[in-house]
Amino acid sequence: MTAMDEHSLDRGTFLNEIEGHLLVAATCTEGRAAAARFTARLDRLTDGQREEVTRQFEAEYLALTRLSWQRTAERSRQLRDEYEGRYRRLRQRALACCLLACALFAATGLVAVALI
């Protein structure tokens, strides 16, 4: 691997990390907004109770979102492995067909030369 490749890899990793942080921040914002909508309907809560419910709601929202992301990532890995396996088998069959066609072509040519 060249220095340029390593630099590109480092930059790609860095950008992925930034994207991850931004995604988590956006999810926290969504969680806070959902918690605010939820607690707005609970008229009998004190301010302290409302803050605690909001904090717990946001934490649960983030935990559920992370679980969803993990499941999605695991499923994408499974699909990638499955499709890579299928592609490998398809490539092997295509190569076998090409070799068979070449062998048939060569055999036909040998028979034609032998008959002359």
Rounded Cα distance, 64 and 58, in Å: 10
Interhelix angle 47-115/3-40, nearest 10 degrees: 140
With a cut of 80, say whether residue 94 has pLDDT above it: yes
Q: What is the pTM of this model?
A: 0.65
Nearest to 27 by CA among 60, 75, 72: 60
Rg (CA), the chain: 30
pLDDT band at 11 (very low <50, low <70, confident <90, very high): confident
Rounded Cα distance, 36 and 25, in Å: 17
39-81 confidence digits (pLDDT tens): 999 889 899 999 999 999 999 999 999 999 999 999 999 999 9
